[in-house]
Structure 1
């Protein structure tokens, strides 16, 4: 009898160990297509380009993810890298092996804590894509049409996400140094540091998000932007099932480096950065077994008082309009074909370093996405 009990206990032990054994999954997306782009810049000859494109409908990437349950806690990880399908190179310009995401997480009854490199709340990338996934029909724009202010993928970060309560969920992030390859010491004022929080609400077919993101850079006197960056975003969507899902989003930014298709440093200025507001309206409509996505983007901003090489104070106004449409048809659970067209217009006025400039970009494209 005792031998039978021992045997049963041993089998139960191995069964439990097998059930709790860690799992590792290889996953990814391959997205390749052809795109034609016509661009006209004030004072320059127009350009036309037909080229193979990568990451239009989906970002081409591969990754490894896995998890193990230990008691009431789940330990997991996610490693992801972007690549270009047209030439096989890494898409991360800094040469990181896992430039898109490299993180480990602990999850339990009180929420999830994540550490590592990960997309910020307003980056439209990765596990904690909280803002654009809710407020933007394209979840980060369509190819080159976007113009809004966004936050980057951040290094050295801690993220806490609470459990959902009455449809509400809090996500908070902090980075000790948002870019490890930049100057400055991690955790000190000599480095750009990031902090952000987003509150998401979900009730049936309705979703909403309110986010605040902050970049601490006030002590970097030698940098092009010496003012802290602040970004406030409010967005939401409602799904009229079988008819359309409608999106709306607005944002206010100040001390920002790139917005409305313009980079602050490229304007030849140093100082307070760009400030202003942006808005988006969009929809996803089911059509003939696929999804038709359309979006409008508008951004209005200015530099405020900034310095030029002469030391004089100057300012510049920036403005952006964008419209995009894309149709995606699933051939299977893994493979989709797509086609789209877009138009974006970026303006710079009253700048000292450069003349008033208008850049108009028209694009059409088609391609295929494969998920594994």
Structure 2
């Protein structure tokens, strides 16, 4: 009898362990490479300083292009079933340049994403680590970047709709989907001694989907480190100050973003609109004074011409507020894109972006200068020295 009881208990224990031990780890990634042409890429001839704008030359650029459609990456996703609809989850995602093999996101090992937490089918998901904010989760997933890649982002991706930035040291909650509605919130800990507010970030947003219609909106508030100087931005939020669009406001005391997007599908055609309001508030150590506001609006149309061929077009308009009584900076941007899928995993693409800038803005040293073009988020770091810029990219992307 004792022997039978022992065998029965062992069998039940085995079944119990099996029920709770279901888990998986998935390796995934994207490799994206091609060739590119940039009509104007600024090159420093004379270094700038406060009171002395840099002198740039402007030259065309031809060559290898890495991660134009999608940033090159590889990652690991993990899920362990804890029973009763509860799971332990994690994601580690590395970004890199396929042309040089260098790490992206400032040389971080897992700079794109690095988080872990718990997920419940009834209560939602709570995660901690380096993560995307609700602007990316609820607005970015239905924005122009979905159809036009980062080249179709609002100039400089100054609103982060195209996920250039992440929040480090953050905690995030994402709800289950309730009849098409999902919402979430994030808080990034600044970690600055003596202050709860400095360097912190908080954000919230939501998305509603019903049939062919989708709409999303989100808000984010990020603060800089107290005493930021020399154009520096130090926060739980990475910031998007790598282009001529907004590099002059990296010393802001705080940044606020309101963003929204919507799409509607009619047969094989998807129409989209987007809007954002980005504000930079100056502090006593900032290189500008008062408040600078950028309003951006865009429209896209995407046509699934055949099961393998998709064509898209878009237009964006961005306007900043006047600086020191000068004419406000304005940016008009046009994009065309085509994609041909050789398989579910492999596709060819061709992209064209054109932007024209006008008015005055600030450079990285706080000097008032003429606004220059910087197409989408792909233009980050390769802004033009003139008021116009054209980008052309052709390439191949494979997912795994």
Q: CA RMSD in A?
A: 3.0
Aligned residue number for residue 215 of structure 1: 222
Matches within 5 A, 1:122-141: 122=135, 124=136, 129-138=137-146, 141=149
The Cα shift of 1:136 comes to 2.5
Pair 1:292-2:311 in alignment = yes
Change (3 A) 1:332 1:111: same
Matched, 1:353 2:367: yes
Distance 1:187 1:350 in 2: 32
Question: Aligned partners of 1:16 and 1:292: how far apart in 2?
Answer: 52
After superposition, residues 103-182 of structure 1 pair within 5 angstroms as 103-108=115-120, 109-122=122-135, 124=136, 129-138=137-146, 141-143=149-151, 146-147=154-155, 148-151=157-160, 152-177=165-190
What's 1:326 paired with?
337
Give 2:300's aligned residue.
282
Query: How far did 1:84 drift?
Result: 0.4
Deviation at 1:357, TM superposition (A): 4.3
Aligned positions, number: 341
Match in the other structure for 2:270? 245
Aligned twin of 1:38:
39
Deviation of the 1:83 alpha carbon: 0.4
Partner of 1:188: 196
- What's the CA shift for 1:149? 2.6
Query: Taking structure 1 as reference, are residues 279 and 71 closer, same or farther at Cα in structure 2, changes over 3 Å only?
Result: same
- Single out whichever of 286-295 and 224-233 deviates more from structure 2: 224-233
Answering whether residue 364 of structure 2 is matched by residue 338 of structure 1, we say no
- Scaled by the length of structure 2, the TM-score of the pair is 0.76
The 3-state SS of whatever aligns with 2:329 is: strand
Q: Gapped runs of 5+ residues in structure 1?
A: 258-264, 306-313
- Residue from 77, 89, 107 that aligns with 1:76: 89
Q: Which has the higher strand share?
A: 1
Change (3 A) 1:8 1:327: farther
Taking the aligned partners of 2:81 and 2:97, their CA distance within structure 1 comes to 35
C-alpha separation between the residues in 1 aligned to 2:333 and 2:194? 38
Deviation at 1:3, TM superposition (A): 5.5
Residues 139 and 212 from structure 1, CA distance in 2 versus in 1: closer, same or farther, beyond 3 angstroms?
Answer: farther
Structure 1 moving runs of 4+ over 6 Å = none
Distance in 2 between residues matched to 1:186 and 1:155, nearest whole Å: 19
In structure 2, relative to structure 1, the CA distance for the partners of 1:121 and 1:159 (3 Å cut) is same
Q: Is 2:314 aligned against 1:301?
A: no
Instruction: Tell me which protein shows more helix as a share of its residues.
Output: 2
Q: Aligned partners of 1:22 and 1:187: how far apart in 2? A: 41
* 2:391 alignment partner, SS class: strand
1:89 corresponding residue in structure 2: 102
- Return the structure number with greater relative CO, CA threshold 8 A, min gap 6: 2
TM-score, normalised via structure 1 length: 0.82
Deviates more, 1:347-356 or 1:112-121: 347-356
1:303 and 1:138, CA in 2 relative to 1: closer, same or farther beyond 3 A? farther
Pair 162,357 (structure 1): closer, same or farther in 2 beyond 3 Å: closer
